[in-house]
Amino acid sequence: MSFKAIIALSVLGLVGAQQTLWGQCGGINWTGQTSCGSGAVCTYLNDWYYQCLPGTSTSSRTSTSTSSTRASTSNTSSTRVSTTSTSSTRVSTTSTTSTRVSTTTSSPSSTPTGRVGKLPALGWNSWNAYRCDINETKLLNAANQMVSLGLKAAGYQYVNIDDCWSNINGRDPSTQQILPDLNKFPNGMASVASKIHSLGLLLGIYSDAGTKTCSGYPGSLGYEAIDAATFSSWGIDYLKYDNCNVPSEWQDNWTYPDWGQSNSAIRYRQMGTALAAQSRPIQYSLCIWGAAQVWTWGASVGQSWRISGDSAPTWSYITSVIDRNVAIIDYTNFYGRSDMDMMEIGNGDLTLAEERTHFLMWAALKSPILLGTDLSLLSTDQLNIIKNKELLAFSQDELVGAPAKPYGTATTTPPEYYSGKSSKGVHVFIMNTSSSTSTKTITFANVPGLGSGSYKVHDMWTGTDVGTFSGSWSTSLGSHDSGGWLITPA
Ligand code: GLA
């Protein structure tokens, strides 16, 4: 049938409803079309997502709504995005086998690539410190400092390379593989990975869901399978996936009733499914700047999603991104969380009080915490902030995935009072948004999970007990400073 004839028949409503090329055609909870138009095959990518990919045989998929335990090798006859895999050497205790963790029904507790990333990532990223001026030496210095400064012992794991690591002139002309810039990384990326792994750390890399990265290096759109396989073969453990240089045919058309079906979601899902097809667990960070209502679908695609443009070492950035996160706080939990962007501690003119609040709120709201400075320049006070045991324990609680949330009636933007549970009990976090020292009062009966009785107050910054109080407890907080307390029945 000619193209014109198909158009004519479809205008007359005589062609059965079929999904268009690249559209979704099945997966858990999918209720839309399950067969693809001519020239496309409905293809299993993962339990959550079947997609119409270019091809000739016809096939359709009914949605699965029941639980399934699936190893990451496909058990369907449909086409896989990639079958390339390499053996991997994990340095953590995580096993290298690729059995999917999840056996969930409608609300997955683990995402397609969710073999890692249950808890917010802790680590370091090159961008805020060095921008494009990166190389193997700087990266390995940061990794060695993570060990020598006690950051690894405190729980920091990832050493992440940001933009500008690859050969800006393009891919390998015969294999189409992305290539490292050998001036910056003369020994290649597998060698970097093995050096990072030998320190007991994990290596992250960066690419983009467009034709080029934000700094103009090769992007991965259309090369997802080959890039995911390449990253896996190098021993990469984490991918930050940016959102620059999206061609016009991939732009969102602003009319999606479900943003999980937007072109943005498809672009990010294509890489997510390619990563999930690798034998190596690779944590997946969606650097999508809060576009396409990513918080509504991000947890079905990766483990974190940026909710803002780029961070800056300013109080106004810190407060504005906290406020943005508060509006969508219920979307953060195990395996999927809003990312308030990389840390600015050590950069610009932030006061120590502002750096304390920066760290405390990233921990309390369970954002990834990726340090973004030359670690060798941090002061003892700054190191003590980022190594604070009790705040890190709240962020990394294995039993509670939900972040702290505002309580009471907020009179400021962002709110100043937050509470949340950990496996130790109920915590309260307070930030002073005003430009002067203020008295802050915790009225126990107003805190979810507490009542009007007597409580022990324990200071998370100092790790010391403050005392036992009945009804309420007040403290003084300096301008832009913050505190966190564990509050348990007396
Ligand atoms: C974007 C991202 C930043 C950084 C740069 C690199 O702006 O949001 O975090 O990765 O690109 O070019």
Asked if residue 163 has its Cβ within 6 Å of ligand 1, the reply is yes
DSSP letters for 10-71: HHTT-SPP-BPTT-EEE-TT--S--BB-TTEEEEEEETTEEEEEE-SS--B-PPP-S----B
**Mutation choice for ligand 1 from 126, 242, 286, 289, CB with most ligand atoms inside 8 A:** 242
Rounded distance between C-alpha atoms, residue 229 and residue 128, angstroms: 28
pLDDT of residue 16: 52
Ligand 1 centroid – CA 163 distance (Å): 7
Using a 6 Å cutoff on CB, does residue 330 contact ligand 1?
no
The answer to whether the CB of 68 falls within 8 A of the CB of 50 is no
CB-ligand 1 contact for 215 (6 Å cutoff): yes
Is the shortest distance between the CB of 208 and ligand 1 below 6 Å? no
Ligand 1 geometric centre to CA of 306 (Å): 11
Ligand 1 centroid–CA 239 distance in Å is 13
Give residue 281's pLDDT.
93
Residue of the nearest CA to atom 5 in ligand 1?
214
CA of 266 to the centre of ligand 1 (A): 20
Contact 146, 156 (CB under 8 A): yes
- Catalytic sites, residue numbers: 242, 310
Q: Ligand 1 centroid to 156 CA: how many Å? A: 21
- Over residues 180-226, the pLDDT tens digits come to 999 999 999 999 999 999 999 999 999 999 999 999 999 999 999 99
> What is the value of pTM for the model shown?
0.82
User: 287: Cβ below 6 Å to ligand 1?
Assistant: yes
Question: Is any ligand 1 atom within 6 A of the Cβ of residue 162?
Answer: yes
Residue closest via CA to ligand 1's atom 6 equals 163
Q: What is the mean pLDDT of the chain?
A: 86
Homologous superfamily (CATH) of 417-489 is Golgi alpha-mannosidase II (2.60.40.1180)
Q: CB of 390 closer than 6 A to ligand 1?
A: no
Whether the Cβ atoms of residue 440 and residue 416 lie closer than 8 Å to each other: yes
Domain boundaries along the sequence of the chain: 23-54, 122-397, 417-489
Is the CB–ligand 1 distance for residue 344 below 6 Å?
no
Average pLDDT over residues 389-395: 98
Q: Which atom of ligand 1 is nearest to the CA of 306?
A: 8
String of DSSP letters for 312-349 = -SSHHHHHHHHHHHHHTGGG-BTTBEEE-----TTSTT
Query: In the numeric block, which tokens belong to residue 472?
Result: 């309420």
Average pLDDT over every residue of 266-278: 94
User: Mind listing the pLDDT tens digit for each residue in 226-269?
Assistant: 999 999 999 999 999 999 999 999 999 888 889 999 999 999 99
- The residue whose CA has the least distance to atom 11 of ligand 1 is 214
Instruction: Give the tens place of pLDDT for each residue, 411-470.
Output: 999 999 999 999 999 999 999 999 999 999 999 999 999 999 999 999 999 999 999 999
What is the architecture of the domain spanning 122-397?
Alpha-Beta Barrel (3.20)
Would you say 241 and 268 are in contact if contact means Cβ atoms under 8 Å apart? yes
